[in-house]
Every structure is written in structure tokens, then in C-alpha cells.
Amino acid sequence: MLNTLKKVFGFESFRPNQEAIIKNILEKRDVFAVMPTGGGKSLCYQLPARIMKGTAVVISPLISLMKDQVDAAIENGISAAFLNSSLSPQEMSGIYQQLKSNDLELLYIAPERFAMPSFLETLKTIPISLFAIDEAHCVSEWGHDFRPDYLSLCNITQTFPHIPVSAFTATATPNVQEDIITKIGLRSPYIIRASFNRQNLFYQVKSKTGIESQIVDFLKEHEDEPGIIYRSTRDSVFRLTEFLVDQGISVLPYHAGLSPEERKRNQEAFSRDRVTVIVATIAFGMGIDKSNVRFVIHADLPKNIEGYYQETGRAGRDGERADCLLLFGRQDIPKIRFFIDQMPNENERSISMEKLYKSVKYASHNVCRRRQLLEYFGETYTEENCGACDICAGNIEKVDITVDAQIVMSAMSRTGQYFGIRHIIDIVVGADTKRIRELQHNEIKTYGAGKHKEKKHWQFIIDELLAQEAIAQDGGQYPVLIMTNKGTEILYGREKIEGLKREEIKKKPKAFKVSGFQPYDEVLFDKLRVLRKGLAEEHKVPPYIIFSDMTLHQMCIYYPSTLDEMITISGVGETKLERYGTDFTKEIRAHLDKNPDISIPERSPSDLTVNRPQQKVKESTIEKTYEFFNEGLSVKEIAKARNLASSTITGHLESLIRDGRVAEIDRLIDPAKRNTIEEMFFALKTWNTGPIVEYSKGTVSYDDARLVRAYIQRKTI
């Protein structure tokens, strides 16, 4: 496997989970894999397609994606083709010919082809190595882009009982996951849920003070880097594009109001590096595999975190550093609310409001952005500091809110932690309500202690305290505010608490480094990029298919000037070496001749892949928990023995369950209770633990919910 990985794809090591998935496919087991965008799903079926006998059939929903994937496979020397409605009858019959004479290692098809009896008859007569269903959430009506055509896949395992089927997606709530597995009929599949953490993305939020100048400033710092700017309406796309054109920036628009031809043309121009920046509504993105998107800017507040994660996920697929900037202004909130208010269904309205609230929270609280994103997708992030968001990197202005926090918590504490948000705010601002008079809360010391500030301010402080877990909401229908240990420490002045400064941020952000990324020769990079673009035009493929940015960066660190050196670069396989090796080594040699001062660094094997020290530390602490667990200790006992919080141990166990290493879930939670919690996840259609705890009216703890969640995520249905 490793040999094929290097020879064909030019990579030294697998990304997380790729190896396990490929092993299972090679053993002819069905696979269900949820991996984030950029996780490297294609390789999971393309590599077995090369190793196994017969043709691998890939079902993929979009014509544009198919074409790029086939181009990329061909560039790697894999014999690949696609069948879809864009082909002429001649082209079509040529491919059928290849298929029948077993010349194809990889065939991409659209799902509707599966409904054609004649096609199925042909397939039955040829040796097939595997079926891979890409974007598998399209089969589920719960998924966000359900495609009725995908239902034709429901018979696949019956029609081809001896061929392994694997399904891949980047989004799957519990319902979608179950739905995909049952609809396709996967036979006790090997299930993988990769982490959604995209380590190479840097997340930051800035107050929206003037979109145009803020974006121009950003673009100045990211000159010539391809990127996407999202805006919420066609009109604002239009205006921003005009403005940027005037500033001399290479930019094109994309929105649903353009003709299909124009959209296609603009998308292609972006994909082929003919234009640097695209300004778009969220209509842009599906069907883009461009791996060298270096930034994604959201100039307006996203409606929800799913969308935000998906859109930012289009940055940095090549694993190199990329930036995600959100310009946040509270004036965007009512605009979105306006649309939500139009929704006819009350239930949907309240779900959308809740989601909007989460995206406001993401932007406005002093909590690691990465942690918030991952928690939204049901993952517990255990690092103290992610090192790659504005909050953790410390380049955002913060203010001490300890005094305000103490006012709120003192009001809570003096009333026995027995009241909800609204009443607490009333006490703090000294409101004259009937309830306050009845309960004589106008006599406690904190009454009116915060009357110099608006109610909105106190709402914000409470939200911040909730987000930072200094306080929590307890109870179902009428939740009351209670204090956590952290809150108690703050109330008694033993700990401080900070919030984000909410006005304009004037300070220039400090330069930050995402660990593991090395500086490279930027002058050479520009030269190689021009070379790549020329070759791409000549070969009629997108530039990133020739070599990714990651591969060019490696060349700009190690200066490979012979073919022997070139083959050691990540992303250079045998076919690409043959096709492009000489062009690139020549350019590099010329650059070295012109710059005799350049010293070429020695390469150690560890330089070959991105170092991820954080990951390693985490692994060993999980291993320790694993050992203790195997010795028969309970969560509480392990926590005590290791002097860590139970929730941390639960986090370790979550990973272990998800990886299939801890199977004795009964030891951790009673089976009857587990069943109940499982049903709740399905009933609420979420991976979030918050709603479960709330729905259970306190009978289920966060830790229990987390363990059961990991169990469902792993479980074969």
C-alpha cells in the first residue's frame, strides 16, 4: 500500500484513517466513512482501484467533479474515465469499449446511470473491483442535498453481492448515517468517523467596520493567493466585485442570477488560476475540488455553523495553511431573522433561530473558535490552546469582565441559584417587576448593581459566562442558572475572566505561525507557479492537479534540482515525475544558479511529513487512560489516579470508543440507559450533547451523552 501511495500519488504517508479504510476495502469489506472536506476521501478508493483486479466504479453526483477527479487520476497515471450526459455518443461508445476490454481501473458515473438496465447488464459482464459512493449523504432525505437519483443505488448490494461497497461523505448526523447505511444496504460495514478538525485552517473573526477597506487590506496581505469571498446577497456580490475590479484586483462574481454558462466560465477561471479571487453567494462551492484555495472570507454573518464550516472547509484542501476570516457585525442579525420569520413552520423557525444564535455565539465569545466548531459537530476538543485561531493565538483584544461577572453571579447566589436568565437580569438592572416585589428581591444587595448598563450588556455577560462554562443552565422547561466550580472561583475573586472587546479592533494582528508549517522561498514559488499554470493550460487541466501548493512549497524548501531529488518530494509520483520533473528541476536549477547564497537544508525523514507534535502528546495521554481502563478502573477512579477531570477522561474514552478500541460500553453506562440516550439522539437529530441533557431534564449527564454518542458513531447498524 505504501509503495503504491508513493509511486502513484507521490505521498509518503497516509492521512488519518485512509490506511484503515483501504485495508478494509482490499479485504472486500463494506465501508462507511465520514471524513471532512479535504480529508482525502478520493484516495481511499483510487488506491484500491489501482491494486485490485477489475474496474472500480465510483458514483459521484456532479459532472464538474467527475471531470476534475478523472483528470487528476489520469495525471497520476491511473486509467480513468467518466460516463455522463456531457459526452457525445462517440465518446460514450469509446468508453464502453474500454470498459468491456477491461482497460479501465476507474470509472466515474452519475447515479442515474444505475437506473438504466442496459448499463447494469454491461456492468454484470465485466470484472468489478469495488463500488465507491462519493457524497453519500445525497442518498438520504435527511441530508441537505438529497438527490432522488441516488435512490437507484438501493439495490447495489443485491445486484452485485460479491463486490465491496464503500460510501463516503463529509456530513452525517445520526439519522443521515443510519439512513445511508440502510438505504444502500451496506453489510456490517467498517465505520469510520474522522475528526472534523482541520488543523491547517486559521479561524478569525473581526468586527465589521468597513467591508471594502477591510477586504482590500486583507487582500494586500494575501497578494496573488486564490480565495473566496462570501456575501449574503446577489446585489452585494455585484457591488463588491465592481469595487474590487476598480482596485485592480483579479476577481469574478458567482451567484445564482448569472447564466449557467457564465457561472461555469467563472468557476473554471477560478479553478484554473486565471482569476485569483471569486466573490460569491453560498451558491458557489459544491463541485469545487480546487485544492489551493488559500483563504475564505465571510463578509456577512453565516446563518448557521454547518454552512460556515462547509464554506470555510473549501480552503486548504492540500493541507497547507489557509485563512478563514469572518467579518461580524450585529446589524446582520436582524437581516437573517427577517428570513427566519417568513418560515411557515414554527418548529423550523425555532430551529433556525437556535442555529443563528449559535453562529452569533461563535463570533462573539472568548472561546476557542475551533473548539466551538468541533463541539457543534459532536466532537470534544481537549487541547487547551489550538494555536490556530485568533482567540488562542492572542491577536484579538480582550477585556477583563470579572466585575460584571461577579455582579451576575452574586445575584444568582443570593437568590439560591433558583432563577432563570430574565429574572437575574431584572435584579441586576434593578427592574421594578411584580415578581421582584413579591419575592422581595429588591432587598438583596445586588439589586440594581448594574443599572448603569443596558439589559443587552447583561445578556451578553451571561452568554459569555455560559460559553466559558462559568455558569450553566439547569432544568428543562424553565431552566435556572447555576454556578460551576469555575464560576465560584470567579465570584470569590480567585480567578479572572475575560471577554472579547466588542468595539472596533484597531490593533494590528500579530503575525502568527501555525505549528508545522515551514517558511519557503517565495520568489521561487512565484516562478514555479507560473510554470505550473503554463503546463496546466497546455494539458487542459486545473493547475492544482499538476502539483498542489503543498508540493510546490516542498520544492521551495528543498530545491530538488535532479530527478532523483524530485521524486522524494511529497506529491511527486512516477507519472508526474516523468511528465513534469524535468521542467521543474530546470526552473529550480536556474533559480539556484542565480542565487548562489541559497543554502539547501538537509532532509530528515520527519521533514517529509508535516510535524504534528500536539497530536502525539494527545495520543500518549489517551494511551494512559486506555491502560487504566483495561485494568478495570472506572472513569472516576482513572480521573483520580491521573489527577485529571472526569470530563477529560471521558474525552479519552470517547476517542477510544470511536476508534473501536474500547468495546465494553456496558462497563461505562448501563445498557437500558444507553438505549434511552440513543433514542434521544435520533429523536433530536443532532450530535450535540446540550440538547440531550436538556431534553432529559437532567437525568442524563453530559459525560453519559458523550459516551453514548461515540458508541452510536462507531456502531454497525
Residues at the interface with Mg ion (CB under 5 A):
41
CB-wise, 191 or 219, nearer to ligand ADP?
A: 191
Closest CA to 172 of 705, 684, 685: 685
Residue nearest to ligand ADP (CB): 40
Which C-beta is closer to Mg ion: that of 136 or that of 258?
Answer: 136
C-beta of residue 223 within 8 angstroms of C-beta of residue 250: no
| CA 365, chain centre distance (Å) | 20
| CA quadruple 215, 217, 218, 220: dihedral sign | positive
Shortest distance, CB of residue 641 to ligand ADP, whole angstroms?
Answer: 37
User: Of the ranges 10-18, 434-442, 573-581, 705-713, which one interacts with ligand ADP (CB under 6 A)?
Assistant: 10-18
| 542 near ligand ADP, judged by CB under 6 A | no
CB count within 10 Å of CB 697 equals 12
Q: Does 516 bind ligand ADP (CB under 6 A)?
A: no
Out of 17, 24, 42, 446, name the contact with ligand ADP by CB under 6 A: 42
DSSP one-letter string for 508-549: PPPP---TTPPP--HHHHHHHHHHHHHHHHHHTS-HHHHS-H
Sign of the Cα torsion 65, 166, 548, 577 reads negative
- What's the burial of 333, exposed, middle or buried (CB within 10 Å: 0-12/13-18/19+)? middle
Binding-site partner at residue 38 among ligand ADP, Mg ion, Zn ion, none, CB < 5 to 8 Å by type: ligand ADP
CB-CB contact of 357 with 461 (8 Å) = no
Encoded one letter per residue, x for contact with ligand ADP by CB under 6 A and - for no contact, window 277-306 reads: ------------x-x---------------
Helix spans in 285-345 (H): 305-312, 332-341
Q: Of 111 and 499, which has the nearer Cβ to Mg ion? A: 111
Which of 9-17, 117-125, 484-492, 519-527 is the region at the interface with ligand ADP (rule: CB under 6 A)?
A: 9-17
Residue 502 CB partners (closer than 8 Å, separation 6+): 207, 364, 460
Q: Which is nearer to Zn ion, 77 or 387 (CB)?
A: 387
At closest approach, how far in Å is the CB of 81 from ligand ADP? 18
- 40, 189, 316, 581: residue in contact with ligand ADP (rule CB under 6 A): 40
| Closest CB 318 distance from ligand ADP, rounded Å | 5
Q: Are 563 and 582 in contact (CB under 8 A)?
A: yes
Q: Is 215 in the site for Zn ion (CB under 5 A)?
A: no
Counting Cα atoms < 13 Å in the Cβ hemisphere of 597 gives 1
Integer Cα distance of 488 and 376 in angstroms: 27
Q: How far is the CB of 34 from ligand ADP (least distance, A)?
A: 10
CA 90 distance to own-chain centroid: 41
Select from 31, 33, 34, 43 the one that contacts ligand ADP (CB under 6 A): 43
Task: Write phi, then psi, for 514 (nearest 5 degrees).
Answer: -85, 125
Least distance (Å) between residue 59 CB and Mg ion: 12
Task: State yes or no: residue 231 binds Zn ion (CB under 5 A).
Answer: no
Of 35-43, 188-196, 436-444, 455-463, which part binds ligand ADP (CB under 6 A)? 35-43
According to DSSP, the β-strands at 128-133 and 55-59 are parallel
d(CA 66, CA 82): 7
Q: Pick the stretch among 363-371, 429-437, 468-476, 681-689 that binds Zn ion (CB under 5 A).
A: 363-371
Amino acid (one-letter) located at 250: S
377 binds ligand ADP (CB under 6 A): no
Q: Shortest Cβ distance from residue 638 to Mg ion (Å)?
A: 39
Q: Which of 370, 527, 591, 706 binds Zn ion (CB under 5 A)?
A: 370
Q: How many CB atoms lie within 10 A of CB 150?
A: 26
Within its chain, how far is the Cα of 479 from the centroid? 32
**Smallest gap from residue 65 Cβ to Mg ion (A):** 7
Separation between Cα atoms, residue 347 and residue 706, nearest integer Å: 26
Residue 368 interacts with which of Mg ion, Zn ion, ligand ADP, none, CB < 5 to 8 Å by class: Zn ion
Indicate which of Zn ion, Mg ion, ligand ADP, none lies near residue 39 (CB less than 5 to 8 Å, by partner kind): ligand ADP
- CA dihedral for 615, 315, 170, 702, sign (positive or negative): positive
Binds Zn ion by CB under 5 A, chosen from 33, 59, 392, 566: 392
Window 414 to 453, contacts with ligand ADP (CB under 6 A): none
Choose the stretch contacting ligand ADP; rule: CB under 6 A; options: 31-39, 524-532, 599-607, 673-681. 31-39
Farthest CA pair distance, the chain: 90
CA 653, 677, 35 angle in degrees (round to 5)? 55
Should residue 6 be labelled a site residue for ligand ADP when binding is judged by CB under 6 A? no
Task: State yes or no: residue 367 binds Zn ion (CB under 5 A).
Answer: no
User: What cell numbers appear for 478 in the block?
Assistant: 424553565
Among 7, 15, 274, 579, binds ligand ADP (CB under 6 A): 15
Question: 685: which residues sit within 8 A by CB, 6+ positions away?
Answer: 142, 173, 174, 175
Nearest distance from residue 371's CB to Zn ion, in Å?
6
Tell the smallest beta-carbon distance from residue 72 to ligand ADP (Å): 7
Q: By CB under 6 A, tell whether 547 contacts ligand ADP.
A: no
Q: Is 365 in the site for Zn ion (CB under 5 A)?
A: no
CB 300 within 8 A of CB 334: no
Q: Evaluate the CA torsion angle 608, 613, 614, 619 in order and state its sign.
A: positive
166 binds, options Zn ion, Mg ion, ligand ADP, none, Cβ within 5 to 8 A by partner type: none
- Closest residue to Mg ion, judged by C-beta, is 41
Q: Determine if 38 is a binding residue for ligand ADP (CB under 6 A).
A: yes
43 part of the interface to Zn ion, by CB under 5 A: no
* Residue choice 41, 198, 206, 290 for contact with ligand ADP (CB under 6 A): 41
Closest alpha carbon to 43 in 64, 71, 73: 73
Does residue number 491 form part of the binding site for ligand ADP (CB under 6 A)? Answer: no
Q: Does 396 bind Zn ion (CB under 5 A)?
A: no
Q: Which partner, Mg ion, ligand ADP, Zn ion, none, binds residue 291 by CB below 5 to 8 Å per kind? A: ligand ADP
The verdict on 32 binding ligand ADP (CB under 6 A) reads: no
Residue from 503, 501, 508, 500 nearest 217 by CA: 508
3-state SS class at 481: strand
**Interface pick for ligand ADP out of 30, 39, 60, 197 (rule CB under 6 A):** 39
- Residues that bind ligand ADP in the complex, under the rule CB under 6 A: 11, 14-15, 18, 35, 37-43, 289, 291, 317-319, 548
- Residues that bind Zn ion in the complex, under the rule CB under 5 A: 368, 370, 386, 389, 392
